Structure 1
Amino acid sequence: MLRITDTRTGHLVEVPAAPRRLLRSRVHLPDIGTGPPTGTGPATGTGIGPLHLRVPLIGDVLARTAELNGLQVVTVLTTPELTPDRARALDRVMAVLGIHPPAVVGAHRPEAALGGPADVHVVARDAVPDDAQGGALIEVGRVVTAPQAEGVPDPGTPDPADTADPLAVRLLLLSSPHGTPVTVTGAALAGARQTLRDWRRSVADWAQEPSRPIPADLLRQSHEALAEDLDVASVLALLAGVAARSDVPAGAKFETFAHLDRVLGLDLARDVGHQRPTGP
Protein backbone atom coordinates (compact mmCIF):
# COMPACT_ATOMS: atom_id res chain seq x y z
CA MET A 1 0.00 0.00 0.00
CA LEU A 2 1.29 3.47 -0.96
CA ARG A 3 -0.17 6.42 0.93
CA ILE A 4 0.50 10.12 0.48
CA THR A 5 -0.78 13.22 2.22
CA ASP A 6 -3.30 14.96 -0.03
CA THR A 7 -2.51 18.61 0.61
CA ARG A 8 -6.09 19.55 -0.28
CA THR A 9 -7.36 17.76 2.81
CA GLY A 10 -4.26 17.13 4.92
CA HIS A 11 -5.19 13.43 5.15
CA LEU A 12 -3.27 10.37 4.06
CA VAL A 13 -4.88 8.64 1.08
CA GLU A 14 -4.07 5.38 -0.68
CA VAL A 15 -2.86 5.73 -4.28
CA PRO A 16 -4.02 4.24 -6.47
CA ALA A 17 -7.21 3.21 -4.73
CA ALA A 18 -7.33 -0.56 -4.23
CA PRO A 19 -7.62 -2.92 -6.02
CA ARG A 20 -6.20 -1.13 -9.09
CA ARG A 21 -2.47 -1.72 -9.64
CA LEU A 22 -1.78 1.12 -12.11
CA LEU A 23 -0.72 4.52 -10.77
CA ARG A 24 -1.42 7.48 -13.05
CA SER A 25 0.82 10.39 -12.07
CA ARG A 26 0.70 13.87 -13.56
CA VAL A 27 3.67 16.14 -12.80
CA HIS A 28 3.15 19.87 -13.46
CA LEU A 29 6.31 21.79 -14.29
CA PRO A 30 6.07 25.33 -12.84
CA ASP A 31 6.00 28.20 -15.27
CA ILE A 32 9.58 28.95 -16.29
CA GLY A 33 10.69 32.51 -15.88
CA THR A 34 8.20 33.47 -13.19
CA GLY A 35 11.02 34.19 -10.73
CA PRO A 36 10.80 34.61 -6.95
CA PRO A 37 6.99 34.28 -6.60
CA THR A 38 7.33 30.56 -7.31
CA GLY A 39 10.50 30.18 -5.29
CA THR A 40 12.80 29.33 -8.15
CA GLY A 41 15.67 31.39 -6.83
CA PRO A 42 18.07 33.18 -9.13
CA ALA A 43 17.46 32.71 -12.81
CA THR A 44 19.80 30.53 -14.83
CA GLY A 45 20.84 30.92 -18.43
CA THR A 46 17.80 28.96 -19.58
CA GLY A 47 15.38 30.17 -16.91
CA ILE A 48 15.23 26.68 -15.38
CA GLY A 49 15.60 27.03 -11.62
CA PRO A 50 15.90 24.62 -8.67
CA LEU A 51 12.14 24.41 -8.12
CA HIS A 52 11.64 23.29 -11.71
CA LEU A 53 13.95 20.38 -10.91
CA ARG A 54 12.49 19.47 -7.53
CA VAL A 55 8.93 18.99 -8.84
CA PRO A 56 9.80 16.31 -11.45
CA LEU A 57 12.30 14.83 -8.97
CA ILE A 58 9.49 14.18 -6.48
CA GLY A 59 7.44 12.75 -9.34
CA ASP A 60 10.37 10.43 -10.08
CA VAL A 61 10.59 9.30 -6.44
CA LEU A 62 6.84 8.69 -6.41
CA ALA A 63 7.12 6.48 -9.50
CA ARG A 64 10.15 4.59 -8.15
CA THR A 65 8.41 4.00 -4.80
CA ALA A 66 5.26 2.77 -6.51
CA GLU A 67 7.30 0.35 -8.62
CA LEU A 68 9.05 -0.90 -5.47
CA ASN A 69 5.57 -1.65 -4.14
CA GLY A 70 4.72 -3.72 -7.20
CA LEU A 71 2.64 -1.09 -8.99
CA GLN A 72 2.74 -0.16 -12.64
CA VAL A 73 3.22 3.57 -13.23
CA VAL A 74 2.42 5.99 -16.04
CA THR A 75 3.87 9.49 -15.58
CA VAL A 76 3.03 12.52 -17.68
CA LEU A 77 4.98 15.77 -17.34
CA THR A 78 2.95 18.79 -18.40
CA THR A 79 4.92 21.93 -19.12
CA PRO A 80 4.32 25.52 -20.12
CA GLU A 81 5.22 26.43 -23.68
CA LEU A 82 8.97 25.91 -23.98
CA THR A 83 11.40 27.14 -26.58
CA PRO A 84 13.39 24.35 -28.25
CA ASP A 85 16.50 25.40 -26.27
CA ARG A 86 14.64 25.24 -22.97
CA ALA A 87 13.05 21.91 -23.85
CA ARG A 88 16.47 20.43 -24.64
CA ALA A 89 17.96 21.93 -21.46
CA LEU A 90 15.13 20.42 -19.40
CA ASP A 91 15.74 17.00 -20.94
CA ARG A 92 19.48 17.24 -20.23
CA VAL A 93 19.18 18.33 -16.63
CA MET A 94 16.54 15.69 -15.82
CA ALA A 95 18.87 13.08 -17.30
CA VAL A 96 21.91 14.12 -15.24
CA LEU A 97 19.77 14.20 -12.09
CA GLY A 98 18.69 10.62 -12.71
CA ILE A 99 15.02 11.49 -13.31
CA HIS A 100 13.44 8.74 -15.38
CA PRO A 101 11.88 10.14 -18.57
CA PRO A 102 8.10 10.53 -18.24
CA ALA A 103 5.87 8.81 -20.76
CA VAL A 104 4.81 12.13 -22.27
CA VAL A 105 6.17 15.66 -21.90
CA GLY A 106 4.07 18.73 -22.58
CA ALA A 107 0.87 16.74 -23.05
CA HIS A 108 -2.13 18.80 -24.15
CA ARG A 109 -4.51 15.91 -23.41
CA PRO A 110 -3.01 14.40 -20.26
CA GLU A 111 -5.93 12.10 -19.50
CA ALA A 112 -5.57 10.48 -22.91
CA ALA A 113 -1.83 10.03 -22.32
CA LEU A 114 -2.45 8.62 -18.84
CA GLY A 115 -5.26 6.34 -19.94
CA GLY A 116 -7.67 7.98 -17.50
CA PRO A 117 -7.84 10.61 -14.75
CA ALA A 118 -4.69 11.24 -12.73
CA ASP A 119 -4.45 9.52 -9.36
CA VAL A 120 -1.86 12.06 -8.19
CA HIS A 121 -0.88 15.59 -9.21
CA VAL A 122 2.63 16.76 -8.27
CA VAL A 123 2.81 20.55 -8.24
CA ALA A 124 4.84 23.43 -6.85
CA ARG A 125 3.52 24.89 -3.62
CA ASP A 126 1.70 28.20 -4.18
CA ALA A 127 1.62 27.51 -7.92
CA VAL A 128 -1.17 24.93 -8.24
CA PRO A 129 -2.46 25.01 -11.83
CA ASP A 130 -6.18 25.28 -12.49
CA ASP A 131 -6.28 21.91 -14.25
CA ALA A 132 -4.86 19.95 -11.28
CA GLN A 133 -8.33 18.63 -10.54
CA GLY A 134 -9.30 15.20 -9.24
CA GLY A 135 -6.90 12.80 -7.60
CA ALA A 136 -4.58 13.51 -4.69
CA LEU A 137 -2.35 16.58 -4.64
CA ILE A 138 1.33 16.61 -3.65
CA GLU A 139 2.66 20.13 -3.19
CA VAL A 140 6.45 20.46 -3.43
CA GLY A 141 8.13 23.04 -1.23
CA ARG A 142 10.06 26.04 -2.47
CA VAL A 143 13.76 25.91 -3.31
CA VAL A 144 15.92 28.96 -2.73
CA THR A 145 19.52 29.27 -3.81
CA ALA A 146 21.54 31.26 -1.31
CA PRO A 147 23.08 34.38 -2.88
CA GLN A 148 26.61 33.83 -4.16
CA ALA A 149 26.67 30.23 -2.97
CA GLU A 150 29.88 28.71 -4.23
CA GLY A 151 29.64 25.39 -5.98
CA VAL A 152 25.99 25.73 -7.00
CA PRO A 153 25.76 24.34 -10.54
CA ASP A 154 23.70 26.03 -13.23
CA PRO A 155 20.80 23.59 -13.65
CA GLY A 156 20.32 24.71 -17.23
CA THR A 157 23.86 23.83 -18.28
CA PRO A 158 24.76 20.42 -16.77
CA ASP A 159 28.34 19.35 -17.06
CA PRO A 160 28.57 16.37 -19.45
CA ALA A 161 31.78 15.26 -17.73
CA ASP A 162 29.88 15.06 -14.42
CA THR A 163 32.82 16.66 -12.61
CA ALA A 164 30.47 18.50 -10.27
CA ASP A 165 28.52 15.27 -9.49
CA PRO A 166 25.00 16.60 -10.14
CA LEU A 167 23.58 13.71 -8.11
CA ALA A 168 24.73 15.71 -5.07
CA VAL A 169 21.96 18.14 -6.04
CA ARG A 170 19.53 15.21 -6.10
CA LEU A 171 20.68 14.10 -2.65
CA LEU A 172 20.35 17.61 -1.26
CA LEU A 173 16.84 18.05 -2.63
CA LEU A 174 15.80 14.66 -1.23
CA SER A 175 17.21 15.31 2.23
CA SER A 176 14.15 17.30 3.38
CA PRO A 177 10.47 16.28 3.36
CA HIS A 178 9.05 17.09 -0.05
CA GLY A 179 6.62 19.70 1.25
CA THR A 180 9.18 21.75 3.17
CA PRO A 181 11.38 24.50 1.72
CA VAL A 182 15.00 23.79 0.80
CA THR A 183 17.83 26.32 0.76
CA VAL A 184 20.70 25.41 -1.55
CA THR A 185 24.05 26.63 -0.26
CA GLY A 186 27.62 25.87 -1.20
CA ALA A 187 28.20 24.26 2.19
CA ALA A 188 25.12 22.05 1.86
CA LEU A 189 26.17 20.91 -1.61
CA ALA A 190 29.72 20.21 -0.41
CA GLY A 191 28.27 18.08 2.38
CA ALA A 192 26.09 16.16 -0.09
CA ARG A 193 29.09 15.53 -2.36
CA GLN A 194 31.10 14.22 0.60
CA THR A 195 28.27 11.94 1.66
CA LEU A 196 28.06 10.48 -1.84
CA ARG A 197 31.82 9.93 -1.96
CA ASP A 198 31.80 8.22 1.45
CA TRP A 199 28.80 6.02 0.67
CA ARG A 200 30.08 4.98 -2.77
CA ARG A 201 33.49 4.11 -1.31
CA SER A 202 31.84 2.07 1.43
CA VAL A 203 29.47 0.30 -0.98
CA ALA A 204 32.43 -0.64 -3.18
CA ASP A 205 34.24 -2.06 -0.13
CA TRP A 206 31.18 -3.95 1.12
CA ALA A 207 30.66 -5.47 -2.34
CA GLN A 208 33.90 -7.43 -1.89
CA GLU A 209 32.43 -9.31 1.08
CA PRO A 210 30.02 -12.29 0.90
CA SER A 211 26.44 -11.23 0.24
CA ARG A 212 24.05 -11.29 3.19
CA PRO A 213 20.26 -10.71 3.23
CA ILE A 214 18.90 -7.31 4.21
CA PRO A 215 17.94 -7.45 7.90
CA ALA A 216 14.17 -7.76 8.18
CA ASP A 217 13.84 -4.73 10.47
CA LEU A 218 15.74 -2.48 8.06
CA LEU A 219 13.70 -3.67 5.10
CA ARG A 220 10.44 -3.11 6.97
CA GLN A 221 11.40 0.33 8.32
CA SER A 222 12.62 1.62 4.96
CA HIS A 223 9.62 0.36 3.00
CA GLU A 224 7.19 1.73 5.58
CA ALA A 225 8.87 5.15 5.42
CA LEU A 226 8.69 5.27 1.63
CA ALA A 227 5.12 4.00 1.48
CA GLU A 228 3.98 6.52 4.10
CA ASP A 229 4.14 9.87 2.30
CA LEU A 230 7.45 9.30 0.47
CA ASP A 231 9.56 9.82 3.58
CA VAL A 232 12.91 9.69 1.78
CA ALA A 233 14.59 11.79 4.48
CA SER A 234 14.00 8.99 6.99
CA VAL A 235 15.45 6.45 4.56
CA LEU A 236 18.60 8.56 4.15
CA ALA A 237 18.92 8.76 7.93
CA LEU A 238 18.45 5.01 8.15
CA LEU A 239 21.26 4.43 5.64
CA ALA A 240 23.58 6.72 7.58
CA GLY A 241 22.86 4.64 10.67
CA VAL A 242 23.37 1.35 8.84
CA ALA A 243 26.77 2.48 7.56
CA ALA A 244 27.93 3.06 11.14
CA ARG A 245 26.52 -0.16 12.66
CA SER A 246 29.02 -2.84 13.60
CA ASP A 247 26.32 -5.48 14.05
CA VAL A 248 25.26 -5.44 10.38
CA PRO A 249 27.54 -7.55 8.13
CA ALA A 250 29.23 -5.80 5.22
CA GLY A 251 27.36 -7.94 2.70
CA ALA A 252 24.03 -6.96 4.26
CA LYS A 253 25.02 -3.29 4.19
CA PHE A 254 25.77 -3.60 0.48
CA GLU A 255 22.41 -5.22 -0.25
CA THR A 256 20.57 -2.59 1.81
CA PHE A 257 22.19 0.34 0.04
CA ALA A 258 21.79 -1.23 -3.41
CA HIS A 259 18.13 -2.06 -2.80
CA LEU A 260 17.13 1.38 -1.53
CA ASP A 261 19.08 3.11 -4.29
CA ARG A 262 16.35 1.85 -6.61
CA VAL A 263 14.29 4.70 -5.15
CA LEU A 264 17.04 7.15 -4.19
CA GLY A 265 18.66 7.08 -7.64
CA LEU A 266 22.07 8.16 -6.32
CA ASP A 267 24.18 5.62 -8.23
CA LEU A 268 25.61 4.33 -4.96
CA ALA A 269 27.17 1.25 -6.58
CA ARG A 270 29.03 3.32 -9.17
CA ASP A 271 32.49 2.53 -7.77
CA VAL A 272 32.00 -1.22 -7.37
CA GLY A 273 34.90 -2.95 -9.08
CA HIS A 274 37.00 0.22 -9.13
CA GLN A 275 38.54 0.04 -5.67
CA ARG A 276 42.14 1.00 -5.20
CA PRO A 277 44.46 -1.95 -4.43
CA THR A 278 45.08 -2.47 -0.72
CA GLY A 279 48.17 -3.74 1.05
CA PRO A 280 51.86 -3.18 0.27
Structure 2
Amino acid sequence: MLRIIDARTGELTDAARARRSLVRVHARAGGYDTTGLRVLLVADVLVRALELGGTPVWATLSCSADRAELRSGAATLGIRPFEEHHEAGTGPGEAQTIHVLGPDCTTVGDGTTEGAAPGDVRVEVAPVEPGDSPVDPSVLRLALLAHRRDEPVRLDAATLADAGDTLARWRGAVAGWATRPSRPVPEDVRQRLRAAWEDDLDVPAVLRVLRWVETSDVPDGARFETYAYADRLLGLELTREIGASL
Protein backbone atom coordinates (compact mmCIF):
# COMPACT_ATOMS: atom_id res chain seq x y z
CA MET A 1 0.00 0.00 0.00
CA LEU A 2 1.20 3.50 -0.83
CA ARG A 3 2.53 5.42 2.14
CA ILE A 4 3.39 9.10 1.97
CA ILE A 5 5.04 11.61 4.30
CA ASP A 6 2.60 14.09 5.80
CA ALA A 7 4.45 17.42 5.70
CA ARG A 8 2.67 18.53 8.87
CA THR A 9 4.19 15.75 10.99
CA GLY A 10 7.12 14.47 8.93
CA GLU A 11 5.80 10.93 9.40
CA LEU A 12 4.80 8.30 6.87
CA THR A 13 1.07 7.68 6.70
CA ASP A 14 -1.14 5.43 4.60
CA ALA A 15 -2.39 7.31 1.55
CA ALA A 16 -5.72 5.50 1.93
CA ARG A 17 -7.17 4.64 5.32
CA ALA A 18 -8.79 1.48 3.98
CA ARG A 19 -8.16 -0.55 0.85
CA ARG A 20 -10.40 0.51 -2.04
CA SER A 21 -11.86 3.44 -0.10
CA LEU A 22 -12.17 6.69 -2.05
CA VAL A 23 -9.31 9.18 -1.67
CA ARG A 24 -9.45 12.77 -2.85
CA VAL A 25 -6.24 14.23 -4.24
CA HIS A 26 -6.59 18.00 -4.12
CA ALA A 27 -4.00 20.06 -6.02
CA ARG A 28 -3.53 23.66 -4.84
CA ALA A 29 -1.57 25.75 -7.34
CA GLY A 30 -0.79 29.44 -7.04
CA GLY A 31 -1.05 30.10 -10.77
CA TYR A 32 0.32 29.28 -14.19
CA ASP A 33 4.07 28.85 -13.98
CA THR A 34 6.46 25.91 -13.93
CA THR A 35 6.03 25.49 -10.18
CA GLY A 36 2.25 25.36 -10.60
CA LEU A 37 2.66 22.73 -13.30
CA ARG A 38 4.92 20.74 -11.00
CA VAL A 39 2.21 20.74 -8.32
CA LEU A 40 -0.25 19.27 -10.80
CA LEU A 41 2.35 16.77 -12.03
CA VAL A 42 2.98 15.48 -8.50
CA ALA A 43 -0.77 15.20 -7.97
CA ASP A 44 -1.15 13.39 -11.31
CA VAL A 45 1.51 10.80 -10.44
CA LEU A 46 -0.03 10.37 -6.98
CA VAL A 47 -3.40 9.65 -8.60
CA ARG A 48 -1.77 7.13 -10.94
CA ALA A 49 0.00 5.37 -8.05
CA LEU A 50 -3.21 5.09 -6.05
CA GLU A 51 -5.12 3.74 -9.04
CA LEU A 52 -2.40 1.17 -9.74
CA GLY A 53 -2.99 -0.07 -6.20
CA GLY A 54 -6.72 -0.37 -6.79
CA THR A 55 -7.71 2.77 -4.87
CA PRO A 56 -10.47 4.92 -6.42
CA VAL A 57 -9.46 8.58 -6.62
CA TRP A 58 -11.31 11.89 -6.94
CA ALA A 59 -8.88 14.52 -8.30
CA THR A 60 -9.70 18.20 -7.72
CA LEU A 61 -7.94 21.50 -8.35
CA SER A 62 -8.00 24.97 -6.87
CA CYS A 63 -5.95 27.75 -8.42
CA SER A 64 -5.65 31.37 -7.35
CA ALA A 65 -4.87 32.74 -10.84
CA ASP A 66 -4.52 31.84 -14.53
CA ARG A 67 -6.76 28.80 -14.21
CA ALA A 68 -7.37 28.30 -17.95
CA GLU A 69 -3.67 28.67 -18.80
CA LEU A 70 -2.70 26.23 -16.04
CA ARG A 71 -5.16 23.63 -17.27
CA SER A 72 -3.92 24.02 -20.85
CA GLY A 73 -0.29 23.71 -19.79
CA ALA A 74 -1.09 20.66 -17.69
CA ALA A 75 -2.80 18.95 -20.62
CA THR A 76 0.29 19.59 -22.75
CA LEU A 77 2.39 17.80 -20.10
CA GLY A 78 0.11 14.76 -20.23
CA ILE A 79 -1.52 15.56 -16.88
CA ARG A 80 -5.04 14.22 -16.75
CA PRO A 81 -7.88 16.69 -16.03
CA PHE A 82 -8.81 17.66 -12.47
CA GLU A 83 -12.31 18.62 -11.40
CA GLU A 84 -12.99 22.10 -10.10
CA HIS A 85 -12.74 22.32 -6.32
CA HIS A 86 -15.84 23.27 -4.34
CA GLU A 87 -15.62 23.98 -0.63
CA ALA A 88 -19.01 22.45 0.07
CA GLY A 89 -19.20 18.68 0.08
CA THR A 90 -16.53 16.03 0.27
CA GLY A 91 -17.67 13.47 -2.24
CA PRO A 92 -19.50 10.21 -1.70
CA GLY A 93 -17.66 7.70 0.45
CA GLU A 94 -14.55 9.86 0.74
CA ALA A 95 -12.20 8.64 3.47
CA GLN A 96 -9.27 11.03 3.22
CA THR A 97 -8.03 14.09 1.35
CA ILE A 98 -4.40 14.53 0.31
CA HIS A 99 -3.56 18.19 -0.34
CA VAL A 100 -0.72 18.73 -2.84
CA LEU A 101 0.55 22.29 -2.44
CA GLY A 102 3.11 24.60 -3.94
CA PRO A 103 5.29 26.93 -1.85
CA ASP A 104 2.99 29.91 -2.35
CA CYS A 105 -0.25 28.27 -1.21
CA THR A 106 -2.11 29.45 1.85
CA THR A 107 -1.68 28.18 5.38
CA VAL A 108 -3.22 29.44 8.58
CA GLY A 109 -1.40 30.60 11.67
CA ASP A 110 -0.59 27.15 13.04
CA GLY A 111 0.92 26.03 9.73
CA THR A 112 -1.99 23.81 8.70
CA THR A 113 -3.55 23.94 5.27
CA GLU A 114 -6.40 26.38 4.86
CA GLY A 115 -9.64 24.47 4.31
CA ALA A 116 -8.16 21.13 5.41
CA ALA A 117 -9.98 18.85 7.80
CA PRO A 118 -8.38 17.03 10.74
CA GLY A 119 -6.78 13.86 9.45
CA ASP A 120 -6.07 15.22 5.97
CA VAL A 121 -2.57 14.74 4.57
CA ARG A 122 -0.35 17.59 3.34
CA VAL A 123 2.17 17.03 0.53
CA GLU A 124 4.49 19.94 -0.25
CA VAL A 125 6.10 20.60 -3.62
CA ALA A 126 9.31 22.63 -3.95
CA PRO A 127 9.67 25.46 -6.49
CA VAL A 128 11.05 25.28 -10.00
CA GLU A 129 13.48 27.74 -11.55
CA PRO A 130 12.57 27.68 -15.25
CA GLY A 131 15.02 27.95 -18.11
CA ASP A 132 15.02 30.51 -20.90
CA SER A 133 14.25 28.27 -23.89
CA PRO A 134 11.08 26.42 -24.91
CA VAL A 135 11.05 22.79 -23.77
CA ASP A 136 9.42 19.72 -25.26
CA PRO A 137 6.61 18.82 -22.81
CA SER A 138 7.70 15.20 -22.41
CA VAL A 139 11.27 16.30 -21.69
CA LEU A 140 10.00 18.77 -19.10
CA ARG A 141 7.89 16.05 -17.49
CA LEU A 142 10.89 13.73 -17.15
CA ALA A 143 13.16 16.53 -15.91
CA LEU A 144 10.68 17.30 -13.12
CA LEU A 145 10.06 13.64 -12.26
CA ALA A 146 13.80 13.03 -11.91
CA HIS A 147 13.83 15.02 -8.65
CA ARG A 148 12.06 14.33 -5.39
CA ARG A 149 9.07 16.61 -5.01
CA ASP A 150 10.57 18.37 -1.96
CA GLU A 151 13.77 19.29 -3.85
CA PRO A 152 13.92 22.60 -5.77
CA VAL A 153 14.56 22.08 -9.49
CA ARG A 154 16.63 24.32 -11.75
CA LEU A 155 15.82 23.69 -15.40
CA ASP A 156 19.22 24.59 -16.79
CA ALA A 157 20.56 23.40 -20.14
CA ALA A 158 22.35 20.39 -18.66
CA THR A 159 19.25 19.17 -16.79
CA LEU A 160 17.07 19.42 -19.88
CA ALA A 161 19.69 17.86 -22.16
CA ASP A 162 20.02 14.87 -19.84
CA ALA A 163 16.25 14.41 -19.72
CA GLY A 164 15.98 14.73 -23.50
CA ASP A 165 18.76 12.22 -24.13
CA THR A 166 17.28 9.74 -21.66
CA LEU A 167 13.79 10.01 -23.10
CA ALA A 168 14.98 9.58 -26.69
CA ARG A 169 17.15 6.59 -25.74
CA TRP A 170 14.38 4.87 -23.79
CA ARG A 171 11.74 5.38 -26.47
CA GLY A 172 14.11 3.99 -29.09
CA ALA A 173 15.00 1.02 -26.90
CA VAL A 174 11.35 0.26 -26.13
CA ALA A 175 10.53 0.32 -29.86
CA GLY A 176 13.31 -2.22 -30.44
CA TRP A 177 12.33 -4.43 -27.52
CA ALA A 178 8.74 -4.49 -28.78
CA THR A 179 9.87 -6.56 -31.79
CA ARG A 180 11.17 -9.34 -29.55
CA PRO A 181 9.11 -12.23 -28.12
CA SER A 182 6.98 -11.01 -25.23
CA ARG A 183 7.99 -11.96 -21.71
CA PRO A 184 6.31 -10.99 -18.42
CA VAL A 185 7.75 -8.39 -16.08
CA PRO A 186 10.12 -10.30 -13.76
CA GLU A 187 8.48 -10.49 -10.35
CA ASP A 188 11.52 -9.12 -8.53
CA VAL A 189 11.58 -6.11 -10.88
CA ARG A 190 7.85 -5.53 -10.42
CA GLN A 191 8.34 -5.60 -6.66
CA ARG A 192 11.25 -3.14 -6.87
CA LEU A 193 9.16 -0.72 -8.91
CA ARG A 194 6.17 -0.91 -6.58
CA ALA A 195 8.38 -0.66 -3.48
CA ALA A 196 9.84 2.56 -4.91
CA TRP A 197 6.60 4.35 -5.70
CA GLU A 198 4.79 3.04 -2.62
CA ASP A 199 7.55 4.47 -0.39
CA ASP A 200 6.58 8.15 -0.33
CA LEU A 201 6.06 8.27 -4.10
CA ASP A 202 9.79 7.98 -4.78
CA VAL A 203 9.74 8.50 -8.55
CA PRO A 204 13.54 8.99 -8.86
CA ALA A 205 13.90 5.47 -7.40
CA VAL A 206 11.52 4.18 -10.09
CA LEU A 207 13.74 5.78 -12.74
CA ARG A 208 16.80 4.13 -11.18
CA VAL A 209 15.13 0.72 -11.53
CA LEU A 210 14.49 1.42 -15.21
CA ARG A 211 18.13 2.42 -15.72
CA TRP A 212 19.18 -0.88 -14.14
CA VAL A 213 16.79 -2.86 -16.36
CA GLU A 214 18.15 -1.03 -19.42
CA THR A 215 21.65 -2.44 -18.90
CA SER A 216 20.82 -5.73 -17.17
CA ASP A 217 20.46 -9.23 -18.62
CA VAL A 218 16.66 -9.06 -18.42
CA PRO A 219 15.29 -10.45 -21.73
CA ASP A 220 14.27 -7.81 -24.25
CA GLY A 221 10.61 -8.83 -24.21
CA ALA A 222 10.54 -8.48 -20.43
CA ARG A 223 12.31 -5.13 -20.67
CA PHE A 224 9.52 -3.91 -22.94
CA GLU A 225 6.81 -5.05 -20.54
CA THR A 226 8.71 -3.51 -17.60
CA TYR A 227 8.94 -0.10 -19.25
CA ALA A 228 5.31 -0.23 -20.37
CA TYR A 229 4.25 -1.13 -16.83
CA ALA A 230 6.30 1.66 -15.22
CA ASP A 231 4.95 4.14 -17.77
CA ARG A 232 1.47 3.68 -16.32
CA LEU A 233 2.89 5.67 -13.40
CA LEU A 234 5.31 7.95 -15.23
CA GLY A 235 3.14 9.00 -18.17
CA LEU A 236 6.14 9.54 -20.47
CA GLU A 237 4.70 7.79 -23.56
CA LEU A 238 7.66 5.42 -23.62
CA THR A 239 5.94 3.23 -26.25
CA ARG A 240 5.29 6.14 -28.63
CA GLU A 241 7.91 5.17 -31.23
CA ILE A 242 6.76 1.58 -31.69
CA GLY A 243 6.31 1.05 -35.43
CA ALA A 244 7.56 4.55 -36.26
CA SER A 245 10.25 3.24 -38.61
CA LEU A 246 7.90 0.95 -40.54
* Cα distance in 1, alignment partners of residues 90 and 121 from structure 2: 18
Q: Superposed, which structure 2 residues align to 1:71-82 within 5 Å?
A: 71-80=55-64, 82=65
TM-score, normalised with respect to structure 1: 0.80
Closer, same or farther: CA 20–219 of 1 in aligned 2, 3 Å: closer
* Cα distance in 1, alignment partners of residues 145 and 56 from structure 2: 23
Q: CA deviation at 1:58?
A: 0.4
Q: Superposed, which structure 2 residues align to 1:227-242 within 5 Å?
A: 227-242=198-213
* Cα distance in 2, alignment partners of residues 19 and 237 from structure 1: 28
1:68 paired with 2:39, answer no
Q: CA deviation at 1:165?
A: 2.5
Q: 2:177 aligns with which of 183, 206, 209?
A: 206
Gap runs ≥5 in structure 1? 33-47, 154-163
1:96 paired with 2:76, answer yes
* Cα distance in 1, alignment partners of residues 212 and 52 from structure 2: 22
2:111 aligns with: none
TM-score, normalised with respect to structure 2: 0.91
Q: Which amino acid aligns with 2:163?
A: A
Equivalenced residue count is 239
2:27 aligns with: 27
- Aligned-residue Cα RMSD (Å) equals 1.8
Closer, same or farther: CA 176–12 of 1 in aligned 2, 3 Å: same
Q: CA deviation at 1:11?
A: 0.6
Question: SS in structure 1 opposite 2:165?
Answer: helix
1:53 aligns with: 37
The percentage of counterpart residues that share the same residue type is 39
Gap runs ≥5 in structure 2? 108-113
Q: 1:270 aligns with which of 208, 224, 240?
A: 240
Q: Which amino acid aligns with 2:179?
A: Q
CA displacement, residues 85-137 of structure 1 (integer Å, 9 cap, x when unaligned):
x33322221111010101x12x2326445764742111113634422343111
Large movers: runs of 4+ above 3 Å: 110-118, 125-129
Q: Judge which range, 221-230 or 115-124, deviates more.
A: 115-124
Q: Which amino acid aligns with 2:231?
A: D
* Cα distance in 2, alignment partners of residues 11 and 53 from structure 1: 26
Q: CA deviation at 1:75?
A: 0.7
2:110 aligns with: none
Q: Is the 8 A contact 1:25 1:120 kept in 2?
A: yes
